[in-house]
Amino acid sequence: MANGFAARATLIGQNTPGVPGTAENGDRFGSRTTVVGGHVAVSAPGENGGSGAVWVFTGTASGVTVTRSVSFGPRTLTAPVSGVRFGAAFHR
C-alpha cells in the first residue's frame, strides 16, 4: 500500500491483551472509528446489552498502541442509560 500504511496496520480487538474489557456476542466492536488528535477512537454500540462503549488508543509513529488505552460508556460518564447504543455515531 502507498505510504507504508500496510506496515503500520494493527489489528486490535476487545480480546487483545492490554485492551480494557472482554468481547461479548453482539458488541459490534469497531462499528465506528475516528482519528482525533493522534488518538484512534473505536466504538462498540452493542457493548453491555446495547448501552455501548468507546475505546481510545494512542497513535504513534509506528502505528496504534493499546498501551494506556481507555474505554468508557454511559455508566462511566454517570449517565447509565440502558440501550442508548453509545458510540453508534461519531460526528465531527
pLDDT digits (tens, 9 = 90+) for 22-59: 899 999 999 999 988 889 999 999 998 899 999 999 98
Question: Domain for residue 10, yes or no?
Answer: yes
Of 80 and 4, the structure prediction assigns the larger pLDDT to 80
DSSP assignment, residue 86? B
Which cell is 81 given? 442509560
Instruction: Count structural domains, the chain.
Output: 1
pTM strictly above 0.85: no
Q: Is residue 77 part of a domain?
A: no
> In which domain, by residue range, is 48 found?
2-72
Neighbours of 11 (CB within 10 A): 6
Q: Does residue 23 fall inside a structural domain? A: yes
Question: Do β-strands 33-36 and 63-72 pair in parallel, antiparallel, or remain unpaired?
Answer: unpaired
